[in-house]
Structure 1
Amino acid sequence: MARKFLYFIAVCIVLFIVGSIALTIWSREATEIAFVPRGEFVEQEPLAANAYQDPDMWYSRPGLGTADPARYQPAIAETAPDPATREAAPDSPAAEQSLSAGNPLESTGSTAGEAADPQELPEFAVFFVPPTSYIQAGGDWNATLGDPTTDNRARIFLRGLASPFNRADEIWAPKYRQAAAGAFLTDKPEAQQAIDAAYADVSQAFDYFLQSIDADKPIVLAGHSQGASHILRLLREKVANSPLAGRIAAVYAPGWPVSVEHDLPALPFPACAAAGQAQCLLAWSAFSDDGNADMIMRRYEATVGYNGEPRGTGPILCVNPITGGTNGSAPASANLGTLVPDEALAKGELVSGAVPAHCGENGLLYIGDPPELGQGVLPGGNYHVYDIPLFWKNLQEDVIARVKAWASAREA
Structure 2
Amino acid sequence: MNTKNIIWIYPLIALLVFSTFCCSCKKDDEPQTDDIATDYSKTAHWLSIPAPIMAVDVFYLYPTCWEKVDSTEPNICNINNPSMLAGATPVFERQATAFETFANVYAPYYRQADAIYTLRLTEEQREVVIGGIPTLDAVAAFDYYIKQFNKGRPFILAGHSQGSNVLIHLLSGYMKENPGVYQRMIAAYVIGYPVTSTYLANNPHLKFAVGPDDTGVIISYNTQAPSVIPPHNPVVSNIVGLVINPITWTRTEAEATTAEGLGSLMPDSVTLKFHPVPQYADARVDVNKGVLICASADSVGLYKFTKPFGMGVYHSFDYPFYYFNIRANAENRVKKFLSK
Alignment TM-score > 0.5, same fold = yes
- Aligned counterpart in structure 2 of residue 266 of structure 1, from 171, 192, 202: 202
Alpha-carbon distance in 2 for matches of 1:259, 1:53 = 34
Which residue in 1 is equivalent to 2:302?
Answer: 373
CA distance in 2 between counterparts of 1:346 and 1:294 reads 30
Residue 230 of structure 1 and its aligned partner are, at CA, apart by 0.8
Counterpart in 1 of 2:99? 165
Task: Tell me which residue corresponds to 1:131.
Answer: 63
Superposed displacement of residue 359, structure 1: 0.6
Q: Deviations over 1:208-253 (max 9, x none)?
A: 0101234431110111011001111111101126211210100101
Contact 2:20–2:120 (CA under 8 A) maintained in structure 1: no
Equivalent residue, structure 2, for 1:46: 36
Match status 1:209 vs 2:202: no
> Is 2:44 the partner of 1:56?
yes
Q: CA deviation at 1:187?
A: 2.6
Distance 2:235 2:51 in 1: 45
Is the counterpart of residue 30 in structure 1 residue 29 in structure 2?
A: no
* Contact map agreement 2:76 2:112 (CA 8 A) in 1: yes
Aligned pairs for 1:10-409 (under 5 A) are 10-15=9-14, 17=16, 28=21, 30=23, 32-33=25-26, 38-44=28-34, 46-47=36-37, 51-63=39-51, 123-136=55-68, 137-138=70-71, 139-187=73-121, 194-195=129-130, 196-240=132-176, 242-260=179-197, 262-267=198-203, 268-296=205-233, 300-301=237-238, 315-328=240-253, 329-361=255-287, 362-371=289-298, 372-377=301-306, 378-409=309-340
Aligned to 2:339, the other structure's residue is in SS state helix
Question: 3-state DSSP class of the match of 1:330?
Answer: coil
1:267-322 per-position Cα deviation (integer Å, ceiling 9, x unaligned): 43322111122111110000112223334489744xxxxxxxxx6xxx42111111
Question: Match for 2:43: what amino acid?
Answer: P
Larger Rg: 1
CA separation in 1, counterparts of 2:22 and 2:274? 38
Secondary structure at the aligned position of 1:253 is classed as strand
CA RMSD of aligned residues (A): 2.8
Cα distance change of structure 1 residues 341 and 132 upon mapping to structure 2, 3 Å threshold: same
Work out whether residues 225 and 294 of structure 2, in 8 Å CA contact, stay in contact via their aligned partners in 1.
yes
Shift of 1:152: 0.8
Could you tell me which amino acid in structure 2 is paired with residue 376 of structure 1?
F
CA drift at 1:255: 0.7
Q: How many residues align?
A: 326
Q: Distance in 2 between matches of 1:370 and 1:214?
A: 39
What is the distance in 2 between the residues matched to 1:142 and 1:264?
Answer: 28
Displacement after TM superposition at 1:340 (Å):
1.8
Q: Distance in 2 between matches of 1:391 and 1:222?
A: 14
Q: 1:31/1:333 Cα in 2 relative to 1: closer, same or farther (>3 Å)?
A: farther
Shift in Å, 1:331: 0.4
Distance 1:283 1:298 in 2: 13
Letter in 1 for 2:98: P
User: Counterpart of 2:224 in structure 1: which amino acid?
Assistant: F
Q: Which residue of 2 aligns with 1:88?
A: none
Distance in 1 (CA, whole Å) between partners of 2:119 and 2:94 is 25
d(CA) in 2 for partners of 1:31, 1:226: 23
**Alignment partners' CA distance in 2, 1:244 and 1:337:** 33
Hey, what's the Cα distance between the residues in 1 that align with 2:221 and 2:22? 28
- Report the CA distance between 1:257 and its aligned residue: 0.9
Give the TM-score taking structure 1 as reference length: 0.72
- Percent identity (aligned): 22
- Closer, same or farther in 2 for the Cα pair 1:16/1:63, shift >3 Å? farther
Higher relative contact order structure (alpha carbons within 8 Å, sequence separation ≥ 6)? 1
CA separation of 1:247/1:360 partners in 2, compared to 1, >3 Å: closer, same or farther?
same
- Give secondary structure in 1 for the equivalent of 2:186: strand
Any idea what SS the aligned residue of 2:153 has? coil
Q: Deviations over 1:177-206 (max 9, x none)?
A: 111112321237986664211111111001
Unaligned runs of 5+ in 2: none
Q: 1:172 to 1:153 in 2, by over 3 A?
A: same
Report deviation, 1:381.
1.3
Query: Match of 2:229, as an amino acid?
Result: N
Shift of 1:369: 4.2
Question: Structure 2 vs 1, CA of residues 46 and 297 (structure 1 numbering), >3 Å: closer, same or farther?
Answer: closer
- In the aligned structure 2, how far is the partner of 1:147 from the partner of 1:153? 10
| Residue type at the aligned position of 1:317 | L
TM-superposed deviation, 1:357: 0.3
Q: What is the TM-score of this pair, normalised by structure 2?
A: 0.86
